Structure 1
C-alpha cells in the first residue's frame, strides 16, 4: 500500500458513467489518466473492482475534477449497496427522473446525507472537504477517542468533531503544513482516497498526535477566546502564572487547554516552553579570562573561544526556562575558588565548565568531558558528563575521547554536580578550524544544552 502523506483527502465522489464488470482489473489498464505509479492508482483500482466508481466514456478518470453532492451520494450509496432505482425523493430539487435520485434518497434514508433547511439538496453544488467529513463520519459511524488538531480547524467549529473522527480512524492526516482546508472543494482523486481508506483498513494512515508544550501565562489577566482573534467571544479570563498546554498556533494565536479553560490566547503572552529544565539554576563557567588566556594555537585563544560558546549556551538554557549564572560574561578572571563559590551560593543544580585543549604536537584531537569521582556529587556528575559527551562529539564531528575522571578544582571541590568540557584541541588544525567557526560554536553550545536536557529528563 502506498501512503500519501502529502494529501489530506476528503471524500471520493465519482459519477458512474460506465461500469467495469467481470474479473478484477487494474485501474491503469482502463483509465488513461491513471497510469501505473499514479498517487491514487491503488485506491481507484480498489474502488473500480468493487464497482463503486468508474471513469468517463473517453476512458479517463479526471482525478483533479471537483466532486458534486450528487456524485458523492452515488459513491456512498454504492459503497453500502443501497437501492439506486430512480424514484421520488425528499428534496424539491431532485426529481424522480434524476439518474441519481434513488441513490440520493437511499443515502438520505440511511441517515448519511441531509439537505438544506428549505428541503433542497443542491445536487450540482460542489462538495467541500468539510462536507465530505460529515458524509464519511456519518456513513461509517466513525468515533473518536483522541483529539487531533489541524491549525485551520477551530476546535469550537462545527467541522472539528467530524474531521477529528476521520483522523482518529486513519482516514486523514491533513496536509504537510498541518492544515485540513475544510472549505476547499474536494477532488475525485481525494474522494477516492478517503473512501478507500474508510472501506479498507490497509489503506489507512495515522496522523501523529499533537504533543502539547507546557507554557506559563505571563500576563496579569488574559482573555481566552473561542477563535484566533479578538472578534471571537471570550471563554474566560486566565491569570498570570497559570500552567497551560499549548497545542498549535494559527497566526499570532495559540490554542491552549488548562483545568477550566480551553480556547485561543494571544501567543505573545505565553512564556517559554516548560521542560525538564524549567526552574533549574545552572552555572556556566567559561574557563580562564583576563591575564589567563588559557591555550593558544592556530590563531585561537581559549578564553575567547569558551566565552563565545558559554554565552551561546546561556541563550539555549534561558529559552528552556533556566536561570543561568555566569562565572564570567566578559574578560574578567574569577579565581577557581570563586567559581565554585558562585555555583554554591546561587544554589545551582549543576555546574558546566567549558574549556579547549592543547598538546605539544598537532596529533592529539577530539572532545572529552571530565567529572570528579570523589566530589560530593561524583555519581551524578558522571551521568551529566556522559549525556553531554554523547551529544557533543557527534554534533561537532570530532573524535570521541570519552568521559573521564579529572582532578580539576572547579569540579573536585564543588558540592554541585559539575563537569568540565574540553571542546577540542586548538593545537590540532581540524579541531581548531571548527572552533574558529561561529557555526560550530553554535553547534557545540546546542549539544551541551541538549546533553544537560537529556540528563534532567532521565534524572
Structure 2
C-alpha cells in the first residue's frame, strides 16, 4: 500500500439506453437542469472529466446515484484504473461500464461488496454511505461509523446538515449533491469553511511549473512557479499536491516537488513513469541486526545477508520515483515494535521485511507471509506477498513453499500492507550457497524489486517504464 487515493455518471433509470451516451463533458452553464447552488461544482467536475452528462445540456441533477456510478465518480477523481475487466463480484461483469473502477476501488478499500459475492451495482447511495466513501477515498479519520463520516465531512465544510439538524444519513443522494460534496473534497475553495491546513514545506524541481485549479492537466492553470521556489503543501490526490505560494493555492504535480531544500542527485526522472509513484513510500525492513544475529549456519549470519539484500533493493529503487525508507541500513538492533512503528512514522505505503529461514539441514525453499486476522490490509498484504513470491521463485528456482498466513509482530502490528519474506534456508547447504553469493543476491534483490512493481501494477499504477531498471 499504499496505495491507497477519488464519478462517471450513468443514471440507473437510463440503463436501457447505450452507455456511450454518458460521455460528454460540458460546463454547468450548458446543463439546463443543474440548480444554481451546484453550478460551480458540477462545472468543476465536468472540466476535469470526473462528471459527465448524457448530453451537452442534460446532467441529470435530480437523479439518484447508484453504487456503480459512485465507484466511477470516485475512480475518476483518484485516477484509478478504469479499464473494463472482470471483477470479484458475480453481479458486475467485465462489460459493465464501471467494472474497472469498481475493482480498483474495492482493492484499495474505498468500497466493499455484500454477502454472496455481490456488489449491488444498481443500489442507490445514501448520504451516509457517500460520507463513508469520501472519508475512505480522501483518508479522513471517521471511526468506522456513519456518524463519524458525516462529522468528518461537516467539520471540513464539505457537507452541511439538513434543516432539522440531522445529517440525513438515510436519504438517497441526488447527483447534484454528490457533485457538490466531491468537488469540495477535491478543492477546498468550494468548501463552506476556510482551509488553512498547509503543513508541509516543499520546493519545486523545475521552472515554468503550472499551479492548476484541479488535480490533472485537464484543469486550467492559475499561475506559474519558478524552479527551487519554496511552497507550503497540504494533501495529495492522484499524484497532485495542493500547495500555496503567496496568495495563490492550487494543484501541482507531486513529481515536480521535493521535501528537501537541496536537490537530490540520486533520482533522475524516469520517462513515462506514473507521477503518483513519487507519493509512494516503500519501507524495507532487513530483519535482526546488531545484538540479534538471527539464524546462522556455514559461517553466514542472517542479519548480514538480509541487510545486504535490502541495500541492493534500495539501490534499485533509487533509480525510480518511489521513496524508500529502511528500518536499518547498518548493523544496528531495531525492536519488533519499532519496526512496525517506523512504517507509520514515515508514512509508508507498503512494508517488506526480509529474512532467511532456519530449520533442519534438509529444509529448503522460499516462502512469504502476510497477516490475515481482522485487518483492513489483508487483501493488499496477500497481493504484495504473492507478487514478490512469484518473482523470487523465478529468480532462484528453489522449492515454492507458498504464500502463507503468519502471525508475526512486524505484520500484525503494521498499519500498511505488509509481507515478510523468507529468501531461503540458511541451514540448507544449497540455499546457503545462494544466500552467500553476490550474484544470487543480486538476482533476488531484482526479484523483490520486480515483485513490488508487479504489486503496484496490479493496483492500477503505470510502472511499465521501471521494469528496465532491473536489467
Q: Which TM-score tier does this pair reach, normalised by the shorter chain? A: 0.3 to 0.5
Q: Which has the larger radius of gyration?
A: 1
The two structures have a TM-score, normalised by structure 2, of: 0.41
The two structures have a TM-score, normalised by structure 1, of: 0.42
